Structure 1
Amino acid sequence: MSFAEQLTRLQVFLDADDLHEEALDYIAAHGYLTALSICPEEISELEWIDALFAEPPQYVDDTERQAIEDTLAQLKAHIGRQLASDEDIELPCELDLGDDPDASDLRGWCIGFMEGVFLRESVWFEEAEEEVSELLLPIMVGSGLFDEQPEFSDIAQDYDLVDEMVAQIPEILTALYLLCQAPAEKPALLKPRTH
């Protein structure tokens, strides 16, 4: 079975209605795995798979469980390779919140990403809190999880600004990856740009 076929099977599995209501669907799982690939600390597969599903899914048998878990691990590795390459990562959704942000795939992706951050929140901000916070801002805005907070509700009202912010997500992911995964490159990254 090709990787594309495995991903299709994974998508069908994750998007099914019989998973726990807090389980991540395929798009959210992609965001979640992207965050795990960037996270400065390696998280055990057992822990992140448990968190992704909220409670163990009803697998047909062990073979199905193994296949789904293997594909999730392969997708995470695939995302990690994309992040490590020089190209912007491709998201499985449009970079647009549309007319109804709560129903958009991008919102789901951003929520999934933030779930990945929440698994090790302190680790994310340990080394470069200010830079990480700044880079995460568009994803936090896209997730809608923080709209109750005054500074976020102001941004959320400015649709053009939100569109501009979410459009930057692929390049932000690369910057976050370099910041969190390539300590040797940090000083060069953080030098102010000279015009």
Structure 2
Amino acid sequence: MFESKDHALSILKEDHQKVKDLFDDFEDANSLREKKKIAATIIQELKVHATIEEEIFYPTVRKEAEEDIMNEADEEHHVAKLLIAELENMNGNEEHYEAKVRVLAESIRHHIREEENKMFPDIKNMDIDFEALGQELLDRKEELMENNIPVSWEEKMITSFWNKKEASSTKTKAKKIMPSLQKNGKKSSSKRNGSLRSAH
């Protein structure tokens, strides 16, 4: 069956292709600066895409698609959100930064195959207006691009963990530095006292 460009499935497939191309661009990029810029775009696209699927598309088609497929899609979104949240808390210079982007790419490519090869064929003959659904997806997508994307609980959890980790790391460094500072302070004090005694 022919799908117009305004068909909900066409819109989602277009998003899929855009993200796959961005992951390819990430691999082809020659500098860390360029990779970080592409990764930021990937994250933005994925967060918007996941939101319109979870808010609009999945609830609409869930009753027709196989339950296992829908549940797997939910879990794949969950895994992707955890990776995205970790990447958002990194500055790009970490040892595992690029590896984490590649793991995200593998996860997303698998998710896309599951949707396009299993979920979409199951639901394409549903008795709903896919063009109207597509317009709803586009409207929400535009709204998300213009405003802040809702913060997921995965993002809140990872950010909280990351902040605690950073605070703990800072505290540990401070404990290591303090004895050295105190020792140096005592040496300086002794030198000053010695200089004063010599002057007298």
- Higher RCO, 1 or 2 (CA under 8 Å, sep at least 6)? 2
If the length of structure 2 is used for normalisation, what is the TM-score?
A: 0.33
Larger Rg: 2
- From the two aligned structures, give the one with the greater helix fraction: 2
